[in-house]
Every structure is written in C-alpha cells, then in structure tokens.
Amino acid sequence: MSALEPTKLDRPRIARDRSAADAKAAKSVTAKLRRAEFGDRLRSLMLAAPLLVLLALSFGIPIVLLLSRAVYDPTIADALPQTSQALRGWNGTGLPDDAAFLALAADLRDNQAKGTAYELAKSLNARLPGARSQVLKTVRQLEGAADKPPLEVMKGVPFWSAPGTWPAIESGTHSVTSFYLLSALDLRWNADGSIGKVPPEQAIFLQVFLRTFFVAAAVTLATLILGFPLAYLIASVPKGLAAILIVAVLLPFWTSILVRTAAWTVLLQKFGLVNDLLLWLDVADDRLDLMYSRIGLIIAMTHIQLPFTLLPIYSVMRTIPPSQMKAAYSLGAKPFTAFRRVYLPQVFPGVMAGSMLTFILCLGYYITPALIGGASDQLISNFIANYVNVELNWEMAAALSFILLVFTLALFGIFARILGLDRLKLV
C-alpha cells in the first residue's frame, strides 16, 4: 500500500490542485468506500447466516421452548375453564363459595365426557399430592349418582373442603406460573402469599443439587491431586519425553465418555480388576460393591475429567522458565517457599481454568451416573431425563433444566470474566 501514497514531491502539486470540485470528488470516494465496506460486511454476514440460522432452529428454539415450559403450563386452566371463571373473585382464604364447587363439578364432568379426566387428575396431582385418586373418585360419584345434586357430591368428598386444596387449584388456573421453578428448589407459595419450604417428605431436589455439587467438587479435587504433579513433570522433562507423556493424557481424552464408562463398568465389577487389586494390596478384606456406588462413580468421573483439569495447567506451566525457581533457590529460598511464592502464583490461572472447567462439566454429567451410579447417586441431569422418559412431567424437567442452566452459565460467565474465553482452548 505504501507505494500508492503520495510522495513528498507530489504534495505541493496536490495542494495547488485541490479545489472545491476535488473536495466533492473526495467525498464521493469516501461514500463509495463506505458502500463497498457495507457490501463486504453484508457478504460476510451472508456467509455466516446459514449456520447461524441452522443453530437457531436446531438448538436455540428447542432450548427456549423447553425453558418456557418451566413457567408456562396451561393444562389446568384449559381443563377447568368454568372453575377458573368462578375463582376470579375469590380472596384466596377459607373456602370459595358454592358456585366454585358447582363449576368444578361441571368441569370434572366435561373432562370425563371428553376422556381427559385422567390427564387432569395427573396434572393436579403434580401440584396437590393425593389429588389423582380424589379426582377420579369424585368423577365416578358424579356419574354414578345422577339424581344427587352435584353440590352434595362435592361436599361429600372431604378432600374438596380440606385446607390447601382450593389455593392449589386456584394457582393452577394461572397459565404463567412460578410453581415448577420453586418446586425445583423445594420451595412453594404459602397460603399467606409468602415463599416457604415444602414439607420435608416432599423435598427432593435441593438434595440432588447438593449431591451434584458434592460429586463435582470431589472429582475436581481428585483431578487436581492427580493432575497437578503430572502436569509439572511433563512441563519439566525434555521435549521428547514430554511428547510421550502427553500421549498418555491425550489417549483417554480422545476416547469417548461412553467407551470409558463402559471400561469402568468392566473394571468395577465385583470380580473385576479393581477388586482384584484391592485384595492383592490387602487394602480390603473382602470384595467391595463398587458398581452402583458413589465411590465408583467418583473414580470413573475422575478418570474422564483428569485431562480437562490437567491440560490447562500444563499449558501455563510450559511457559514458566525453570530459571525462575533456580533464581529463588540461589537467593536462599527453601524449596517449599520458592514453590509457594514463585511458582504457584504463576500457575494459578491454569489451575483455576482447569478446575473450573472440570467442575462445570461435572454438573452436566448424565451417562456415567446412569451406568455406574446407584439409585442414590443420580445427578441432576438424570432427574431431568427421568422426568421426561418415565414421569412424562415436562414442566418439572424444564424447571430443573432451567436451574441447571442458570448455574452452568453463571459459572461460565465467571470463568470468561476472570480467565478469558481463550483459556477454553485445550492443547
């Protein structure tokens, strides 16, 4: 480009010739340039557009749709239109007036006629434990005694006059709901409008979240204890040896999680290699049940996550010149002091990156707990899958997904903020 710029010799001539017309021409050149740049920008947008559109359709919309199910559930409002209408004016305390009871009776009959009574019973049951059998019982009674006034039937079933029943129905008639998100944290709306804990016998999810965090923390710690010294060794040995050692880290890294989980199911069997080793070492007196146990799960996850923790640490250690430690020694520092005050502060970003990456990835584990964990070792992802596959409760699956995603994205936000997204690159 420099050859095209005016030389010193040209300058006087240019100054002399510059006239209003030239200024106008220059302006139009700028405009042309701007237009050309706009065209460039448009073209690069067009190049990126196919993938961006495809990702929006195949990934973006599904996630948004799923998350919306956590706060939008029109099933009860749709199934109980007359009850919803009748409850509009209710103040939420005590029992509603008889009109509400009659409306509910009429709605229940309509649902029975349409064949949707069972579905209604199920979705009411999700909010009001025990409602399933009561709805079906009431529907049968309403049908069986056609001559009996509906109000009498409704009042005859104590469930419909029990405290808590009508507030739950009322909250169900609102399509936009915080019920599932609160439930995912073992919380609920109290009758007086405050948020409180659900009764202990209904509380399940906090425990699952805590378990997920505990397993993630244990695995992170284990990978650090195993990985940090190995990263240090690989970073300090000569290049040729380091290349061989790094292959030992990359081979498992390149093997799929499923294959490694399969390998661990073989190893952790009662008559598997791990038990053989423990007996041979005289650590255990008898063969242990490692399959379907917490410790088996943590061992397998540690194996899978070790490269994720180790590689970011190694990539930082590689950049620290060994002369620094020697300088510290020659200035009289003891080995531990030199390590703590010279080496550790410099590798700290790598340690943070590796352990945060492992912790975040552990929060989303699904395959390994499903195959190696026992019933009490299932993590939050397994509950999400279970709500979809077994319970067919999309709202609860969506609410748990919502909370898991919030945790994951928040931790990634912190990661990107303090370490930068570039640290995500492995090797």
Partner 1 sequence: MLLSPYPTTGERIRITLLWLWCGLVILFLLVPILIPVPLSFNSGAFFIFPLEGISTRWYAVVLGTQRWQSAIGNSLIVAFGTTLIATTLGTLTAIALADEKFPGRRIVMPLLLSPLIVPVVITAVGSYLFYARVGLASTYAGIILAHTALASPFVVVTVGASLTGFDRNLMRAAAISGAKPVTSFFRVMLPLILPGVLSGAAFAFVTSFDEVVVVQFLASANQRTMPLEMFIGLREKLSPAITAAATLMMALSIVLLVVANLLARRSQRRPVAAA
**Residues 197 to 236 in contact with partner 1, rule: CB under 8 A:** 226-227, 229-230, 232-233, 236
Structure token digits, residue 416: 């990107």
Q: Minimum Å distance from CB 346 to partner 1? A: 17
Among 86, 224, 397, 399, binds partner 1 (CB under 8 A): 397
Q: Which is nearer to partner 1, 25 or 63 (CB)?
A: 63
User: CA-based diameter of the chain, in Å?
Assistant: 112
Task: Give yes or no for residue 418 binding partner 1 (CB under 8 A).
Answer: no
Asked if 381 is part of the footprint of partner 1 (rule: CB under 8 A), the reply reads: yes
257 sits near partner 1 (criterion: CB under 8 A): yes
Residues 322-361 that bind partner 1 (CB under 8 A): 322, 326, 329, 335, 360
Here the contacts of 164-169 (C-beta below 8 Å, separation 24 or greater) are 164/128, 164/191, 165/128, 165/131, 166/87, 166/90, 166/95, 166/96, 166/100, 167/92, 167/191, 168/124, 168/127, 168/128, 168/131, 169/76, 169/80, 169/83, 169/87, 169/104, 169/124, 169/128
384's CB contacts (< 8 A; 6+ apart) are: 397, 400, 401, 404
Q: Least CB distance from residue 59 to partner 1, whole Å?
A: 4
With binding defined as CB under 8 A, does residue 262 bind partner 1?
yes
The tokens describing 117, both together, are 């009574």
Q: Which of 271, 332, 345, 375 binds partner 1 (CB under 8 A)?
A: 271
Of the candidate residues 44, 133, 190, 202, the single one contacting partner 1 (CB under 8 A)? 44
Min dist. Cβ of residue 305 to partner 1 (A): 11
Task: Work out how close the CB of 247 gets to partner 1 at its nearest, in angstroms, rounded to a whole number.
Answer: 9
Q: 288-295 contacts: CB < 8 A, separation 24 or more?
A: 291/265, 291/372, 292/372, 292/373, 292/374, 292/375, 292/377, 293/373, 293/374, 293/377, 294/215, 294/373, 294/374, 294/376, 294/377
Binding segment for partner 1 among 74-82, 174-182, 192-200, 399-407 (CB under 8 A)?
399-407
- 421: CB partners within 8 A, 6+ apart: none
**Residue 385 in the binding site for partner 1 (CB under 8 A):** yes
Residues 167-182 as b/e (b if ≥16 CB within 10 A, e otherwise) read bbbbbbbeeebbbbbb
Under 8 Å between Cβ of 138 and 165: no
> Using CB under 8 A, which of the segments 118-126, 137-145, 171-179, 269-277 binds partner 1?
269-277
- Choice from 289, 349, 408, 419 touching partner 1 (CB under 8 A): 408
Of 252, 278, 289, 320, the one binding partner 1 by CB under 8 A: 252
| Contact call for residue 406 and partner 1 (CB under 8 A) | no
Residue 185 or 226 with smaller CB distance to partner 1: 226
Tokens 């994720």 sit on residue: 308
* Interacting positions 64-93 with partner 1 (CB under 8 A): 65-66, 69
Binding test (CB under 8 A) with partner 1, winner from 28, 34, 35, 62: 62
Work out which of 127, 211, 260, 294 binds partner 1, going by CB under 8 A: 260
Residue carrying the six token digits 């309403």: 142
Q: How many chain residues interact with partner 1 (CB under 8 A)?
A: 86
Q: Which one, 9 or 48, has the nearer CB to partner 1?
A: 48
Under a CB-based contact definition with an 8 Å cutoff, are residues 385 and 369 in contact? no
Mention every residue, 6+ apart, whose C-beta is less than 8 A from residue 34: none
CA gyration radius, the chain: 33
Q: Identify which of 69, 89, 93, 87 has the alpha carbon closest to the alpha carbon of residue 175.
A: 69
**Token pair of 182, please?**
């609160």
Q: How far is the CB of 38 from partner 1 (least distance, A)?
A: 10
Contacts of partner 1 in 273-292 (CB under 8 A): 273, 276
Residue from the set 23, 26, 33, 54 that interacts with partner 1 by CB under 8 A: 54
Please, what is the minimum distance in Å from the beta carbon of residue 122 to partner 1?
A: 18
Stretch that binds partner 1, among 74-82, 147-155, 194-202, 247-255 (CB under 8 A): 247-255
**Ranges within 310-329 binding partner 1 (CB under 8 A):** 322, 326, 329
Residue 329 and residue 331: Cα distance in Å, rounded?
A: 5
Asked if 118 interacts with partner 1 (CB under 8 A), we say no
